[in-house]
Structure 1
Amino acid sequence: MIQKEQTLKQSSLSLNTKANKELLEHQFLKIKEELSVLFQKIQDQPLLKGEDPEILIQEMLKFLFLIGKYKTKLTPSLKVDYVWHEFILCTRFYMEFCNHNYERYIHHSPGGEKKENHQLYIKTLKLYFLEFGGAPIDIWGDYHQDNDQDADCGSCFSS
């Protein structure tokens, strides 16, 4: 298991799509095994009622992957942002997750101008498309329409 983690970490953030998928799958399985409370927290969120917590967590992991790879400010969708909030509240696990996978803590910065957040949201969707193909509209919205799917609470950055 340690050898596999080392291999995944070495291939982390590479241009190899297969390696990236394996990394994301490994991250998801670790959360599923060690942080089952996150699934319950997501199910208890009023905005996320009826949503599949597994899919939402996978989408949040993709968002964090984009921040880790591109080292830039990005804004998530509202649903992904709610999942990220719940993940951050698991402070020890979240800090270890960030340090292990991205060798730094990924900070969340609430606030910011709505126009800037929307521009960062569009940037997020473009990077998402580049890495993963089309984003699920029910989670990420359709950036061709002004439907306010971007998170109201702000952007994030890594330091």
Structure 2
Amino acid sequence: MTVVQERPATDARTLLRADLRATLAANLLARFPDMTEDQADRGISQMLAFLAAGARSDVPLSPSPLVDDFWHAFLLHTKAYQEFCAETLGKFVHHQPGFLDKEEHGGGKALRARTVEAIAAAGYIVDLEFWPEVDIADCSQCHANCHNSPKHV
């Protein structure tokens, strides 16, 4: 008899040092005065889950516009972001603005579904408040707007 145990999903905020999480949260709260501390903390978690899933994915993923705001906040700390990518993800995750070809990668709903599924498959908690069904940001985690294709124009 084989027993299969499901592991509970991990909160991705544990991927980042507490002091850097606090700095990112403070920056976001200053930029978005209507955001609560809880939303800032949860959003950081979703951004980190997106980055971790994107680093493992063989296909492009895309953040929601809200998760993209959290990613932008992290990118402003270039040295810390670079170190996080190298030490935690094992590779640099590029922020590449632009549209993914709808024929090849599906539209916004397909990208959202693929991204949310990839986060869950990577073992992280998915907080659907940060992944609204209709909106996907105009960027992806892949280099040059097409995964594994740096010469794509």
Question: Structure 1-normalised TM-score?
Answer: 0.68
Structure-2 separation of matches of 1:46 and 1:124: 25
Gaps of 5+ in 1: 1-15
More helix by share: 1
Q: 1:121 to 1:86 in 2, by over 3 A?
A: same
Q: 1:33 to 1:81 in 2, by over 3 A?
A: same
Structure-2 separation of matches of 1:125 and 1:90: 26
Structure-2 separation of matches of 1:94 and 1:113: 24
Q: Which residue of 2 aligns with 1:26?
A: 14
2:35 to 46, 49, 55: 49
Identity of matched residues, %: 22
1:95 aligns with 2:82: yes
Structure-2 separation of matches of 1:97 and 1:54: 17
Q: How far apart are residue 120 of structure 1 and its match?
A: 2.6
Q: Which residue of 2 aligns with 1:121?
A: 112
1:19-54 alpha-carbon deviations (Å, 9 max, x no partner): x838x35323x1x22453211111123396346211
How many residue pairs get matched?
134
2:130 to 121, 126, 139: 139
Gaps of 5+ in 2: 1-5, 149-153
Structure-1 separation of matches of 2:23 and 2:14: 18
Greater length-normalized contact order (CA 8 Å, ≥ 6 residues apart): 2
